Structure 1
Amino acid sequence: MEEPGSNASSAVTVLSKCTVFPDRKSTLGDLKLTISDLTMLCWHYIQKGVLFITPSLPSQTLIPHLITSLSKTLSIFPPLSGRLVTDSNGYIYITCNDAGADFIHATATHFTLTDLLSSPDIHQAFEQFFPFHRKLNYDAHFSPILAVQVTYLPDGVFIGVAVCHAVTDGSTLWNFFNTFADISRGVTPLSRIPDFRRESILNSKVAVQLPEGGIELAFNPDEPLRERIFSFSREAIQKLKSRVNHHRTSPENADVAELISKLSDDTQLKTVTRNGSEMEDVSSFQSLCAMMWQCVTRARKLDGSETTTFRMAANIRNRLEPKLGEYYFGNAIQSIATCCKVYEVLNNDLTWCAEQLNKSVREYDSVVVRRVVENWEREPKCFKLGSQDGALLLMGSSHRFPMYDNDFGWGRPLAVRSGGANKFDGKISVYPGRKGGGSIDLEVALAPETMALLVTDSEFMLYATSHVSQIWKGILLC
């Protein structure tokens, strides 16, 4: 793999690269990869990063400070400075051998904050602000599990992280990121200590069966995509939620239900449905997902008889019995799939789509988690990422992750962005909105022709904000 800045056409120049070691020797033993970890081996590393205004400290002071902060952070997260190893029985472990993480200092002098943020379309330069472009998770046998790249712009700085997805999920990644920022800022004591215990049913005695031809992606990473940020204010999302739940009520209870919806903030309220039964309200997020499902399916112009699938990556820390700790280190996610015919998604109203998603989420309990584990043990293999039929939407990440809490000592981030990893037609990453208060940003990757139709969908754009001046002015004023 070529490093950013290693070719003449690159917009990024690497100034230095070093290996950062933990400031204390690890005493943590080998950690066996769990079922949730092993399914990720055929994916790319996670790439997530945050964009800031220029710090007051000069780079010759800040870079050594960040390296020292990373060294201290690695002592709290020993697996991130280790490597993957496979034993003679085919079991894969993280060996916490203090082999270190990569740290890259780079510049991108041709891009200002305005260049990067003034359009709702994702600027292509962001891909170069991350290390380990298209590196597969299995490669952590031979490469660092973690790499950090700090890229200086004329008026800002981007901190990008690439980490092996077979070692961490989003919850663990942002716990690391927040801890890194806290240490840089001098916060004591640290409150988010990772839990390395391996005592759940996810810790299987079955070894993964890797493809005979070797590890490879299940999708084409070179397929043309258009990526765009859509912002949804708290008010817009609450209107969506009210619309969904209002249509579920019986006529005599409609006024009461509408009032409750306006006053609520996703508490566990119950609605009297159209058939007279009681059911918990569809959440704001499920309402937003339902609209995405309908509008993207409409824009794709699929045949009505085809099957369309909406997948949500679900944190199962609280779904398991007994529960995993909040700061459990590793992957604790499973995919909740809702499948319908295209004509069902398009011919029914938004409430119907939201109810299908709500039903899938409500039913995904500890029993279902265990069933997924048992099914995997009968056929232990990697999970194939991608949309082979062009009818999939996959919602990853979470609006509950504390992405904007990453203050390294010079203020909150201006924006959160991902790299080119694991991108395909239908991949959506959800982020909290920078304003907070229940606002949400969606980073959406679609085929160019699908995106072109989506942004002209009047129903969708009634709720989404993607006007250039609105987004950029909003970021500057926050």
Structure 2
Amino acid sequence: MISSSSFTIISKCTVFPEQKSSLGLLKLSVSDLPMLSCHYIQKGLFYTRPPLPIDSLLSLLKRGLSKTLIYFPALAGRLTTDDDGFVYIACNDAGVDFLHANAAHLTIRDILSPVHVPDSVKEFFAFDRTISYDGHFMPIAAVQVTELADGIFIGCTVNHAVADGTSFWNFFNAFAEVCRGVNKLTRPPDFRRNFVNGSLAVLRFPEGGPQITFSSDVPLSERIFHFSREAILKLKSRANKWVDNRLTVEVEILGKQSNDGWKPQSDNNQNPNGKITSVIGSWLRNAVSNSQVTETADQTVEVSSFQSLCAQLWRSVTRARKLPPSKPTTFRMAVNCRLRIEPKVDPYYFGNAIQSIPTIASAGEILSGNLRACALLLHGNVIAYNDAAVRRVVEDWEKNPRCFPLGNSDGAMLTMGSSPRFPMYDNDFGWGRPLAVRSGRANKFDGKISAFPGREGGGSVDLEVCLAPETMEGLEKDSEFMQYVS
């Protein structure tokens, strides 16, 4: 029994697949290998107290997990590296960890009601700060069930070199389906190694394995910002109103000058400031003529709801960081490449089929324009990310194999992970939908953002935002951002 203050690990065991696997070895792809230096994924869900005794609940979950592992044999395996340096998942039925913990001194409200996410959530997950490379000698996955005073938390931890967010939540969904008695999975995983497969590149590691590429000891402030459907629609509407910012600003300047201390002059019609009015009219005609092509192009582009939200976050965090105008800033977005590559792979391909799109602009550029200008930068990069772009990233990596550089190396980066499209609230184990999503300590640094769907659905979004405390304080005072938060 392991105890930390009033938090106690009551039991721990290994759950094995109900049937032996015949899958054998699965080679890690060029999208899996860079994740070996990342922490295991840690995501979990709060539930009201189930209508059955805790021993019965644990038995139900263990049986369900054992059956689910039949369909997800990779999670019950271990990593192995051959003599040539290629890394594989050995689907050897070694099993996953299952832990039962008690935190009965806490209520669900104790966790969800504070403005900032309390540190106690970090204890609801196994394998804290574990690097994915460690899957060579420890389980690839773990499930921890934590009892609270008025509910439970089910936390899943999965090796990030084995699964991305799509694969993680597909497993979680399947686990819930099996536990509530579904006989056939809604979305069976696809274990064919057909996503950028066949690479001969080898990722070499120092003795003892790789290390994470950021400091996990830096103080962070973490908060969940909720955006209702109505707020998201307002943001999208604002981002899709075409405004020639240069035109607006310069007309305002000229208009101000026409009413300032210029010496009045009359035209032939005895109109004071006639020359100024003429200048404005001439300038407007030229400006409209010169910007006609840009206006037409911009008006045809619709920025998505999520891109609008990301653009607003980028602007507000950049402002809160008080960066010099010339400072380059980066907004990274994780993109699912399953349907971007040709030929397309199965939507439930199991593994990492993601890449990170960096959009770079100076702090001055981000803040001097309007929301649409910022959103168009993100939109353009996402739209352009096609099969050729995916393969260019693969080719570049093969020339210089390396771990993914997660972190905020220059103090001006934001990294968006997860997705509001993930079916997080579909995880009904038999006694109702979850109440809330939370994550562990894994892969968090100043500027790490995770997007979750809002529980009410309909396009609502929750952003889990991790920032330096002083930056978080600035963001919370940013009226442009906070007007959309509920």
The alignment's TM-score, normalised by the length of structure 1, stands at 0.90
Residue aligning to 1:449: 470
When structure 1 is superposed on structure 2, of 212-221 and 34-43 the one drifting more is 212-221
CA 1:273–1:286 in 2, change beyond 3 Å: closer, same or farther? farther
Counterpart mapping for 1:231-380 below 5 A: 231-248=226-243, 275-277=295-297, 279-380=300-401
Query: Any idea what SS the aligned residue of 2:163 has?
Result: coil
Find the counterpart in structure 1 of residue 435 from structure 2: 414
- Separation in structure 1 between the aligned mates of residue 371 and residue 244 of structure 2, nearest angstrom: 14
Q: Post-superposition shift, 1:79?
A: 0.4
Identity of aligned residues (%): 58
Task: Say whether residues 1:6 and 2:2 are aligned partners.
Answer: yes
> Which residue pairs with 2:203 in the alignment?
208
Structure 1 distance, partners of 2:465, 2:293, is 32
Q: Distance in 2 between matches of 1:436 and 1:300?
A: 32
Q: What does 1:137-216 align with in structure 2 at a 5 Å threshold?
A: 137-211=132-206, 214-216=209-211
Q: How far apart in 2 are the matches of 1:202 and 1:356?
A: 31
1:90 is the counterpart of 2:85: yes
SS of 1:186's partner is: coil
| 1:474 equivalent in structure 2 | none
Aligned partners of 2:2 and 2:10 also within 8 Å:
no
Q: 1:368 to 1:243 in 2, by over 3 A?
A: same
2:483 matched to 1:462?
Answer: yes
Query: Which stretch shifts more, 196-205 or 238-247?
Result: 196-205
Letter matched to residue 24 of structure 2: G
Residue 398 of structure 1 deviates from its aligned partner by: 0.4
Amino acid paired to 1:22 = P
Q: Conserved in 2, the CA contact under 8 Å of 1:249 and 1:273? A: no
Tell me the equivalent position of 1:431.
Answer: 452
Following TM superposition, by how much is the alpha carbon of 1:11 offset from its aligned partner in structure 2, in angstroms? 3.6
Tell me, in whole angstroms, the C-alpha distance in 2 between the residues paired with 1:285 and 1:202: 31
Give 2:10's aligned amino acid: L
2:450 aligned counterpart, secondary structure: strand
* Whole-Å separation in 2 of the counterparts to 1:317 and 1:132: 29
- Deviation, structure 1 residue 464: 1.2
Deviation at 1:249, TM superposition (A): 8.4
SS in 2 for 1:288: helix
Structure 1: 4+ residue segments shifted above 3 A: 211-214
The 10-residue stretch of structure 1 (388-397 or 214-223) with the greater mean CA deviation from structure 2: 214-223
Structure 1 counterpart of 2:235, one-letter code: L
Give the conservation status (yes or no) of the 8 Å contact 2:334–2:417: yes
Contact kept in structure 1, 2:44 and 2:154, CA below 8 Å: yes
Aligned to 1:43: 38
Assess if the C-alpha contact under 8 Å between 1:210 and 1:382 holds in 2. no
**Is the contact between residue 33 and residue 203 of structure 1 (CA under 8 Å) also seen in structure 2?**
no
Unaligned segments of structure 2, at least 5 residues: 246-291
Matched position secondary structure for 1:39: helix
In the alignment, is the contact (CA less than 8 A) between 2:133 and 2:209 conserved in 1? Answer: no
Q: Residue deviations 1:61-111, cap 9 Å, x none?
A: 110110000000001100000000000000000000000000001110211
User: Does the Cα contact within 8 Å between 1:129 and 1:151 map onto a contact in 2?
Assistant: yes
User: Which position in structure 2 is the counterpart of 1:125?
Assistant: 120
Q: Give, in whole Å, the separation in 2 of the partners of 1:213 and 1:160.
A: 28
- Equivalent position amino acid for 2:305 in 1: S
SS at match of 2:93: coil
Matched, 1:60 2:80: no
1:16 Cα offset (Å): 0.7
1:212 offset after TM fit, Å?
6.1
Cα distance 1:394–1:11, how it changes in 2: closer, same or farther (>3 A)?
farther
Alignment correspondent of 1:219: 214
Task: Tell me what 1:382 maps to.
Answer: 403
> Residues 31 and 95 of structure 1 are in contact (CA less than 8 Å); yes or no, is this contact kept in structure 2?
yes
C-alpha distance 203-226 of structure 1, shift in aligned 2 (>3 A): farther
Distance 1:248 1:161 in 2: 46
What SS does the aligned partner of 1:144 have?
coil
State the distance in 1 between where 2:293 and 2:2 align.
Answer: 60
Seen in structure 2, the aligned counterparts of structure 1 residues 381 and 212 have a Cα distance that, compared at 3 Å, is farther
Cα drift, residue 123 of structure 1: 1.6
**Structure number with bigger Rg:** 2
8 Å Cα contact 2:17-2:76 kept in structure 1:
yes
Q: Give a deviation string over 1:355-392, Cα, whole Å, max 9, x none.
A: 00001101111000000000000001111110011100
Could you tell me how far 1:200 is from its partner in structure 2? 3.2
Q: SS state of the match for residue 432, structure 2?
A: coil
Note closer, same or farther for the CA distance 1:435–1:27 as it changes in structure 2 (3 Å cut). Answer: same
User: Cα distance, 1:120 vs. partner?
Assistant: 3.0
Letter in 1 for 2:300: M
Q: Is the 8 A contact 2:13 2:98 kept in 1?
A: yes
Q: Secondary structure at the match of 2:11?
A: strand
Unaligned runs of 5+ in 1: 251-271, 466-478
Of residues 217, 225, 230, the one that matches 1:230 is 225
- Please say if residues 401 and 432 of structure 1, whose CA atoms lie closer than 8 Å, have aligned partners that are also in contact: yes
State the one-letter code of the partner of 1:345: I
When normalised by structure 2's length, the TM-score is 0.88
CA contact (8 A) 2:29 2:195 kept: no
What's the offset of the Cα at 1:174? 0.3
Q: What is the alpha-carbon distance in structure 2 between the residues aligned to residue 12 and residue 413 of structure 1?
A: 22
Deviates more, 1:72-81 or 1:277-286: 277-286
Amino acid in structure 2 at the alignment position of 1:341:
S
- Taking the aligned partners of 1:112 and 1:212, their CA distance within structure 2 comes to 44
SS of corresponding position for 1:275: helix
Residues 199-208 or 408-417, more deviating? 199-208
Output the CA distance in 2 between the equivalents of 1:381 and 1:302.
30
- 2:75 counterpart residue number: 80
Which amino acid letter does the alignment assign opposite residue 373 of structure 1? V
Question: Which deviates the most, 164-173 or 456-465?
Answer: 456-465
Deviation string, structure 1 residues 368-425 (Cα, Å, up to 9, x no partner): 0000000000001111110011100000000000000000011000000000000000
Report what 1:256 is aligned to: none
One-letter code aligned to 1:357:
L
